[in-house]
Homo-oligomer: A and B are copies of this chain.
Amino acid sequence: MNSAYTTRLQTIRREMDRLGLDAFIVPSEDEYLGEYIPDYNRRLEWLSGFTGSAGMIIVMKAKAALFVDGRYTVQSRQQVSATDYQFLHLHEDPQAKWLSNELTAGQVVGFDPRMHTYQWYLDTKSILDDFNIELKGLSENPIDLSWHDRPAIEVKPSILMDHKWTGITSSEKRANMGNLIADKNADAAILFSAESCNWLLNIRGQDIPSLPIALGFGILYANGDMIFHINKNKLAVGINEHVGTGVTFLAEEDFEGSLKSLKNLRVLADFNTCNAYSMIHAVEYGANLIQQPDPVLLPKAAKSEIEIAGMREAHIQDAVAEIGFLHWFDQQVEQGLRLDEATLSEKLFDFRQQQPNFVEVSFNTISAAGSNAAMCHYNHLNGTPAVLPENGVYLVDSGGQYDCGTTDITRTLAVGNPDDDIKKNFTLVLKGHIALDLITFPEGTTGSQLDILARAPLWHSGLDYDHGTGHGVGHFMSVHEGPQRISKKGNDIALVPGMVLSNEPGYYKDGAYGIRCENLVVVQEAEGLGQDGKTFLQFDALTYVPFDLRLVLTDLLTEQERQWLNNYHLKVLTLMSPRVNQADLDWLKQATRAV
């Protein structure tokens, strides 16, 4: 607890007085509404000291509340003063409902409309209206006015994607997407997602660690023309030629002008991704909004053959690094060295960094020894990194951004002599991984329908894991990309060829050990299957790294599962033999031996 935060709260309350506000809402999101928030936009953290990835603060004159979800129950109470804040649940204690109890008719709630989705605004306003409480959009953010030591925005140039890895020009993409807009009988679409805009323009950026995008937001017209609002200092040399004719780069501050030009146009907008600011102003300036999911989401998720070729190359380079690391790891363990989680993570990074197309890690490596692996989101940098157990497992979940694709892999490794309980449960997790990898399914099938395949072997033993089975992955972009996913939770997005997903069942025994088996897979047509014009689909693994056979109880595998494991390892050996050095190849041969 730091009294600096108490002072900041007082500062904000003075600003609220000046603005005539009875309450002020501070979300963890910033003006880009993305998953990652750069340091200079971590307003909620500046105000309260809370560093979690999701939360909301409501400041009132005499009290304040911090809303967090179950992941952050403990952390929020450690980081934030209970004198200054009361703690509420982000989802179970709806903020609008809470405000309507705390305030009375005629009072005013301020919010920064750039930091909330339009859907949030509509929902919240609808509730507060019932109580005659005003929800007032602010043109100045009280935190921005008070935050004097705010980190500078680092201006790093955008990246022009090599045509070799996109295969299709921005002009072609924009023409195709423009036709989609015209098909919906619309004139334009507001594209608030920077990922959508980057994909359309065949550019990337360096604004956020691990997520290689150039922040900004755009408008695409039915004729394929596009406006992209971006800090113009970030524009790379040659970007105009790269994106082709019809693209105008404007400053972010000029977005209002672009919204004004939408007058009388029919405009597609995703109310769940566009911010309230843009929608409120677009309506005010006479645009006819048509609510639609972001039209770029599906084309971006269903990757082209060329994008998949880039993903495969990224995975081969990633496998060179991972195989080098696994070989080195075995050597260290054989020598009796009980290395710590930080050393291991850094060594793996060294191997990745040697790969020609490597740019950066795609997320912070989870390097977890022994019982630490039982925490799904363990971070060895919080506290002292643990050393390897004498007998047990080490779990490493990591990935890379390559300029041709994105990777994400988890391997669970034997250390010493793990007991049979570990081996049995590793084998059950692997059986689930195999069942999901093996399935063929008719067009129209969603990830939610497939989820149980990865869980059933655990369920038969009364076990389960408390996370999703698979997330979408971008192409040199976010390692968590929608709209598809494989999870218990219902999801109505059908899987289509070119979608990349993780296949990552796990099992976590509290205080003892954690297991996860993760490959990335791509959806493709299952040749020769399907009749009466119906198409069947299947997964093809993109990850080419052996599973640790020392943890497999082969007696628990069916004949089909045993064959899958041998075939997968043969594929790994065949693909990787020409790419790894002789010492690693010798290691790989025994690591991929038939069982």
Contact = CB atoms under 8 A, between A and B. Distances in A.
Contacts of A456: 439, 453
B460 A442 contact: no
Nearest to A461: B529
Contact of A462 (B439, B453, B530): B530
A532 B449 CA distance: 27
A534 B458 CA distance: 14
Contacts of A445: 488
Given A449-B451, A449-B452, A490-B492, A442 B464 contact: yes
B529 A462 contact: yes
A459 B488 contact: no
A534 B459 CA distance: 12
Closest 7 pairs (CB-CB, A-B): A462-B529, A490-B490, A462-B530, A462-B536, A449-B452, A442-B464, A440-B459
A478 interface: no
A472 to B, nearest CB: 19
Contacts of A558: 558
A461 to B, nearest CB: 7
A532 B462 CA distance: 10
7 contacts: A439-B460, A440-B459, A442-B459, A442-B464, A448-B448, A461-B529, A558-B558
Interface residues of A, number: 32
A445 B526 CA distance: 29
Interface in A432-467: 438-442, 445, 448-453, 456, 459-464
A462 B526 contact: yes
B488 A531 contact: no
A558 B435 CA distance: 15
A438 B438 CA distance: 20
A462 B526 CA distance: 9
Interface string A459-498: 1111110000000000000000000000010101000000
Contacts of A439: 452, 456, 459-460
B453 A441 contact: no
A440 B462 CA distance: 7
Interface in A76-98: none
Interface in A502-518: 510
A68 to B, nearest CB: 23
Contacts of A529: 461-462
A488 B558 CA distance: 27
Contacts of A532: 510
Interface of A: 438-442, 445, 448-453, 456, 459-464, 488, 490, 492, 510, 526, 528-532, 534, 536, 558
A310 to B, nearest CB: 30
Contacts of A531: 462-463
Contacts of A534: 462, 464
A371 to B, nearest CB: 15
A405 to B, nearest CB: 29
B536 A488 contact: no
A365 to B, nearest CB: 28
Contacts of A464: 442, 534
A369 B450 CA distance: 34
Nearest to A462: B529
A529 B462 CA distance: 5
A469 to B, nearest CB: 11
A526 to B, nearest CB: 7
Nearest to A456: B439
Contacts of A440: 459-460, 462
A315 to B, nearest CB: 26
A462 B534 CA distance: 9
Contacts of A463: 531
B449 A488 contact: yes
B490 A459 contact: no
B452 A450 contact: yes
A529 B528 CA distance: 41
A59 B441 CA distance: 44
Contacts of A462: 440, 526, 528-531, 534, 536
Contacts of A452: 439, 441, 449-450, 452-453
Contacts of A448: 448-449, 490
A546 to B, nearest CB: 25
A461 B536 CA distance: 10
A492 B528 CA distance: 35
A363 to B, nearest CB: 28
Contacts of A441: 452, 459
Contacts of A530: 462
Nearest to A559: B558
Contacts of A459: 439-442, 536
A437 to B, nearest CB: 13
A131 B19 CA distance: 42
A445 B450 CA distance: 14
A538 B534 CA distance: 33
Nearest to A438: B460
A529 B461 CA distance: 7
Given A442-B459, A448-B448, 5 more contacts: A441-B459, A445-B488, A462-B531, A463-B531, A464-B534
A220 to B, nearest CB: 29
